[in-house]
């Protein structure tokens, strides 16, 4: 794992000018990222949350619109993306419409989720990571049928409201779930490690390296 905080370059604030806020890419709710910032001991004003689309998750980073981004699992198929050590975890959940048979459950099993149709890998999302997000098979060998196109959260929510489809995802989406959508925890999938990603060939400014180091340190406590 590459380290983002070994450079000897001067801090952007060394001349007395405060560094600009870190442009931190997020997908879905900023709540998880906000908890990471707080745990690292940095003020929320030091970070600007910038949404990215799940269909092209790394494009904003490569285009220079982000400094770092929230990454779940290690995108090993993207060799230009470096990732930190885990800075948090996100529990697993299933998203369903409010009418769904699983909607009022306190928790569900991934084996139960396999009774319903799920979503295909979106756009340029790394295939190996999608297999971790939406496993092709359950631990007992049942196939999770990935048949519906994944485009936007709005389009997915519309389908969930009108069909028996499900989306195997993360508990953090509970903070941004649209009306009529329930986020039900999955009790038999391990939580996803959450890391910070950046372009491997880019030297991060000192204040960003420090933030990554502080986030890693906080997660080890």
pLDDT value at 205 more than 80: yes
Is residue 68 a contact partner of residue 40, using CB atoms and an 8 Å limit? no
Same domain, 107 and 47: no
pLDDT value at 24 more than 90: yes
Residue 106 lies in a domain: yes
Same domain, 178 and 129: yes
pLDDT in tens, 148-191: 999 888 899 999 999 999 999 999 999 889 999 999 999 999 99
Same domain, 171 and 107: yes
DSSP state of 10: P
Same domain, 48 and 128: no
Same domain, 132 and 81: no
Same domain, 103 and 73: no
Same domain, 97 and 130: yes
The CA distance from 114 to 168, in Å, is 10
What percent of the chain clears pLDDT 70, i.e. is strictly above it? 93
pLDDT value at 13 more than 50: no
Same domain, 82 and 104: no
pLDDT value at 10 more than 60: no
Domain that holds residue 39: 22-89+192-220
Residue 8 lies in a domain: no
Number of domains in the chain: 2
Greater model confidence, 202 or 24: 24
CATH number for 83: 3.40.190.10
Instruction: Provide the token pair at 23.
Output: 């442009």
Give the residue-averaged pLDDT of 129-150.
95
The CA distance from 215 to 23, in Å, is 15
What per-residue confidence (pLDDT) applies to 33? Answer: 95
What per-residue confidence (pLDDT) applies to 153? Answer: 82
What per-residue confidence (pLDDT) applies to 79? Answer: 95
What per-residue confidence (pLDDT) applies to 154? Answer: 87
Is residue 52 a contact partner of residue 24, using CB atoms and an 8 Å limit? no
- Of the given ranges (116-120, 153-157, 178-182, 202-206), which has the lowest mean pLDDT? 153-157
Residue 60 lies in a domain: yes
Band of pLDDT at residue 130, cut at 50, 70 and 90: very high
pLDDT in tens, 77-92: 999 999 999 999 999 9
* Residue that has been written with the tokens 């800075």 in this structure: 87
Give the residue-averaged pLDDT of 185-208.
96
Phi and psi torsions of 197, nearest 5°? -115, 150
Same domain, 117 and 161: yes
- Burial per residue of 16-35, b for 16 or more beta-carbon CB atoms within 10 angstroms, e otherwise: eeebeebbbbbbbbbebbbe
pLDDT value at 133 more than 80: yes
Same domain, 145 and 113: yes
Residue 74 lies in a domain: yes
Residue 212 lies in a domain: yes
> For residues 39, 42, 48 and 53, what is the CA-based torsion angle, rounded to 10 degrees?
-20
3-state secondary structure (DSSP) of residue 190:
coil
What per-residue confidence (pLDDT) applies to 1? Answer: 52
Same domain, 141 and 176: yes
Residue 1 lies in a domain: no
Same domain, 162 and 116: yes
């Amino acid at each position: 794992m590459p380290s983002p905080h070994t450079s000897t370059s001067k801090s952007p604030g060394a001349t007395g000018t405060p560094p600009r806020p870190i442009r931190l890419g997020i997908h879905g709710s900023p709540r998880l990222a906000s908890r990471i910032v707080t745990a690292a001991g940095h003020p929320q004003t030091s970070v600007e949350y910038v949404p990215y689309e799940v269909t092209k998750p790394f494009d904003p980073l490569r285009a220079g619109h982000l400094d770092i981004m929230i990454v779940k699992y290690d995108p090993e198929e993207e060799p230009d993306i470096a990732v930190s050590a885990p800075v948090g975890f996100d529990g697993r959940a299933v998203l369903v419409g409010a009418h769904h048979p699983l909607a009022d459950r306190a928790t569900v099993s991934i084996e139960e989720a396999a009774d319903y149709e799920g979503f295909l890998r979106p756009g340029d999302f790394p295939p190996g990571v999608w297999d971790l997000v939406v496993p092709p098979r359950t631990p007992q060998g049942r196939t999770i049928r990935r048949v519906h196109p994944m485009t936007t959260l709005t389009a997915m929510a519309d389908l969930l409201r009108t069909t028996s489809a499900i989306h195997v995802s993360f508990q953090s989406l509970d903070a941004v779930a649209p009306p009529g959508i329930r986020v039900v925890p999955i009790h038999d999938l391990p939580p996803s490690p959450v890391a910070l990603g950046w372009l491997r060939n880019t030297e991060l400014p000192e204040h960003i390296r420090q933030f990554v180091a502080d986030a890693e340190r906080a997660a080890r406590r």
